[in-house]
Amino acid sequence: MIEFVMPSLGADMADGTLVEWLKKPGDQVKRGDIIATVETQKGLIDIEVFDEGTIEKLMIAEDTKVPVGTLMALINPEKTIEPQKAIPVVAEEPVIQPTEEKAIPPFVTEHIQVKASPLAKKIAAENNIDLSQIMGSGENGAITRKDIEGAIEQGKLVQEKERSSIVAEPIKEQNISNTLRSAVAAAMSRSNREIPHYFLEKKIDLEKALAWMHEKNKVLPVQKRLLPVALLIKAVASSLKQVPELNAIWDTDLQLKTEINIGFVVSLRNGGIIVPAIHAADLKSVDEIMENLNDIIPRARALRLRSSELSDSTVTITSIGDGGADLVYGIIYPPQVAIIGFGSISEQAFAENGLLGVRPMVRVSLAGDHRASDGLSGSRFLVTLNNHLQNPEAL
């Protein structure tokens, strides 16, 4: 019997609430089917199943909140693809139990380790301070009394400010953006605490790439037209094949990933970000990546993503977009080991072969985890990326 458990949709997820079962006992499932909808800090997520078989039992009632790793359903792998034999639905009464009684220890406990001195923890508990929001100044980044006292002091200042300005927002919206905000805060604090970042930057001339794209767009129907970002994503994926140490995760040591799944930072209207994955971007054409973006970005903004899209990224891209800042230095999303940042594309004076010209330029940054790789790898990556973007037809 295959056990279907509450999946972890990112390092910052501790639990999820089952909102709805989309399959019932007796239903056949195959890899990729959506079995349930789960509410997390990042909104409603469609949960996929990765095995084939027949739903044997549903173990969790709807509207129940369970930790990551909790058994949710049993799938019988034997009973597949025998459509002539009708499955006796009556005999397969759904057994729905409260989770407390079925206390199966979660096998994936990805919670954020906060290092704090016992005294700091005590004072934080007394003052209702969330330790994950605090930067530690002690040994190996541990939070000390001084850090907590600083946070208490700051909290008082913020409270005073809030009191002086009236905030009138719909409560529900605020709730969603609050939980999302705290998920982002937890992940980014962990990154800043644990990951020794190094930063590199390269200016890349996009004239050839954009010219190639405009030519292609002339023959494409409007809804399939390419945006520069699709090209950039493809170029990053191709470059990562040549510098594999940046397409990896760090979990006590460097673990290279064979799939190149690019997490793409999507900003939400009410604040906060969400990072869906573009799977196997190196194997997709630029057109396919564009199609993928057109599908995933609206769903991300509506907080309706599939579980695999939230948890599978092996590297992240953050792109500022038209008319924004010239450059962005990313903060790595743990346990990944690199994030690539694209500033907005703008025309700049550019010298080449002793002549000055005006070119569409983009400033590209790379933040790398210095435990996992060194500046030389990062530099090699940026040079490779440049080469790819100078030969767009080969992408």
Which amino acid belongs to residue 322? D
Give least dist CB 144 to another protein, A: 5
Closest C-alpha among 32, 33, 25, 19 to residue 62:
19
Contact residues toward another protein (CB under 8 A) are 117-122, 137-140, 142, 144-145
Lookup: tokens for 9 = 């949709």
Q: Give the three-class secondary structure for 189.
A: helix
**Rounded-to-integer distance, Cα 75 and Cα 81, Å:** 14
User: What is the maximal distance between C-alpha atoms in the chain?
Assistant: 82
DSSP 8-state assignment for residue 37 = E
Nearer to another protein (CB atom), residue 114 or residue 366: 114
Residue 72 and residue 94: Cα distance in Å, rounded? 12
User: Which lies closer to another protein via its Cβ, residue 149 or residue 282?
Assistant: 149
Contacts of 380 (CB under 8 A, 6+ apart): 242, 243
For tokens 């990154």, name the residue.
191
Which of 128/140 has CB closer to another protein?
A: 140
CB of 87 to another protein, least distance (A): 58
Which residues, at least 6 apart from 41, have a Cβ–Cβ distance to it below 8 Å? Answer: 12, 13, 179, 180, 182, 183
Taking the complex as a whole, how short is the minimal distance between the CB of residue 121 and another protein, in angstroms? 8
Phi and psi angles of residue 231, each rounded to the nearest 5 degrees, phi first: -65, -45
φ/ψ of residue 179, rounded to 5: -65, -40
Return d(Cα 291, Cα 282) in angstroms, integer: 15
**Residue with Cβ nearer another protein (127 or 270):** 127
Residue 145 Cβ, how far from another protein at the closest point, in Å?
A: 5
Which ranges of the chain does DSSP label H, i.e. alpha helix?
118-126, 145-164, 171-194, 207-219, 228-242, 286-301, 307-311, 375-390
What region does 255 belong to: left with phi over 0, alpha with psi -120 to 50, or beta?
A: beta
Where do we find the tokens 């903004």?
Answer: 301
Residue closer to another protein by CB (options 94, 138) is: 138
In angstroms, give the least distance from the CB of 134 to another protein.
Answer: 14
How many Cβ atoms from other residues are within 10 Å of residue 168's Cβ?
Answer: 4
Q: How far is the CB of 117 from another protein (least distance, A)?
A: 4
Residue placing its CB nearer to another protein in the complex, 74 or 120? 120
How many residues are listed for the chain in this entry? 395
Nearest to another protein of 83, 118 (CB atom): 118
Cis before 25 (ω within 30): no
Strands 71-76, 53-58: pairing kind = antiparallel
